Amino acid sequence: MLTAQQALDHLLSNARPVGDSEMVAMQAALGRVLAENVNSLVDVPPLDNTSMDGYAVRTVDTQNPGSILTIAQRIPAGSIGTQLEPGTAARIFTGAPVPPGADAVVMQEDCTTPEGSTDQVQVNIAPAVGQWIRKRGEDLRTGKTALTAGTFLRPQELGVAASAGLTHLNVKRRVKVAAFFTGDELSLPGEPLKLGGIYNSNRDTLLACIKSLGCEATDLGIVPDNLNATREALRKASKDHDLIITSGGVSVGEEDHIKPAVTAEGRLDLWQIAIKPGKPLAFGAVRKSENVKDGEGGAQAEAWFIGLPGNPVSSFVTFLLFVRPFILKLQGRDEGHVQSYPMRADFDWLKADRRNEFLRVKINAQGGLDLFPNQSSGVLTSASWGDGLVDCPPGHTFKAGELVKYIPFNALLS
């Protein structure tokens, strides 16, 4: 049996980023991967400006608390002031450029109006040089890198690119993933259940996982448990796709046709990975029926193949642990290994397993982790109840109160 790390290393050593990229308008870039560095077209902020409503002053004029200055100008956001003369202050509003000559802003709460005056301000607390001034270029500098190639674009990255003055971004083309689901027992929701049947839940879980990573997902439906149907589905899936994902049929029973089918249409390694849930995982490649030469137009002569186990929790967890990092590499994303966080377990885990277990847990109001009582690989409500996994190494046990490795689902679904 392979360890989870060995399996992952092997997968990642095979993956190569897709070559093509395209320019898209900013809002269409959400969830895409940046293909080249973004350099700022401007300084952000473009000028020194105030972060408070108040008065721009010269600190030499306000060293004594209670200094009185003449209000000589008014600068709302969007306008420019003039040279601040000695003994004067500028009434200024958040976001307005600090006038030349001023070296601090006093917030209006620290000022009063002297009795009987309309054009003077009394500064009650002496400001330090630079107080409440946001410096030109403190966020971004013209020509400097604002975002690096390989970044997965979230709302905040779109905002950074917009603040740098860009309207469009060069993003990697979407990775194209085809999926099918093996099993004679499967019915689609909306159809009557077969006798001895079960609804196909992996379809919705896995297609949504693929889409949540920003990939194009093609649903090739349910494939019956026979060799020819499986081979035919593989040929269809290899066309126009970078990666084929399947569920079920990866054991080595008589009704498991993934291994012979992929071997006939390409090549396959079938791995027993020492994890729970999810032991069997198939990895290989399927020849493309078109005559694609490797590297031509960024194309691959083969579509990658990853066969996941059929049990709903197993396919979900193995997708997150193995398929996701593989897809990230195809996308050219520069993120490293999945991060786990030390969290306190509020339950005992006393039976050691030879395998690396991934327990469905939820953070409780006390900041610890609760365990879903049924950890069966068929009980998908455990994953829906939970907000993450505890990564429990082989042979490991723990008691309530100990720190464990927690991986939030959120971090794995984008």
54 lines the binding site for ligand AMP (CB under 6 A): no
Minimum CB separation of residue 260 from ligand AMP in Å reads 14
Tell me how far apart the alpha carbons of residues 62 and 364 are, in angstroms, rounded to a whole number: 53
Number of residues in contact with ligand AMP, rule: CB under 6 A? 17
State the minimum distance, in angstroms, from the CB of residue 254 to ligand AMP.
11
One-letter amino acid of 137: G
Q: Minimum Å distance from CB 197 to ligand AMP?
A: 8
∠ Cα 158 164 330 (to 5°): 45
CA-based radius of gyration for the chain: 30
DSSP SS3 for 90: strand
Among 54, 284, 309, 332, binds ligand AMP (CB under 6 A): 309
φ, ψ dihedrals at 233, nearest 5°: -65, -40
Query: Which of Mg ion, ligand AMP, none lies near 311, with the C-beta cut-off 5 to 8 A by kind?
Result: ligand AMP
By a kind-dependent CB cut-off of 5 to 8 A, residue 202 interacts, out of ligand AMP, Mg ion, none, with ligand AMP
The helix/strand/coil state of 154 is coil
Residue bearing tokens 């920003």: 214
Please enumerate in sequence order all residues whose Cβ is within 8 A of that of 17, keeping only pairs 6 or more positions apart, or say none.
172, 329, 330, 331, 332
Residues near Mg ion (CB under 5 A): 183, 248-249, 310
Closer residue to ligand AMP, CB minimum distance, 116 or 196:
196
Q: Which residue is nearest to Mg ion (CB)?
A: 248
Amino acid at 195: L
At closest approach, how far in Å is the CB of 265 from ligand AMP?
A: 19
Q: How far is the CB of 183 from Mg ion (least distance, A)?
A: 4
Closest CA to 245 of 328, 186, 324: 324
The closest residue (CB) to ligand AMP is 310
Quickly tell me which residue has 């003039």 as its tokens: 82
Give me the 183-212 binding string for ligand AMP, x by CB under 6 A, dash otherwise. Answer: x-xx-----------x-xxx----------
Residue closer to ligand AMP (CB basis): 54 or 249 = 249
200 binds, among Mg ion, ligand AMP, none (CB under 5 to 8 A by kind): ligand AMP
Output 130 or 197, the one with its CB closest to ligand AMP. 197
Strand partners, 22: 171
The yes or no reply on residue 251 touching ligand AMP (CB under 6 A) is yes
Torsion, Cα 250 252 253 258, to 10 degrees, reads 40
To the nearest whole angstrom, how small is the minimum distance from the Cβ of residue 302 to ligand AMP? 24
Residue 247 CB, nearest approach to ligand AMP (Å): 5
Show Cβ contacts of residue 139 under 8 Å, excluding neighbours closer than 6 positions: 44, 45, 163
Alpha carbon distance 245, 233 (integer Å): 11
Write out the two tokens for 286.
């399927």
Is residue 249 close enough to count as binding ligand AMP by CB under 6 A? yes
Q: Applying CB under 6 A, which residues contact ligand AMP?
A: 181, 183, 185-186, 198, 200-202, 247-251, 309-312
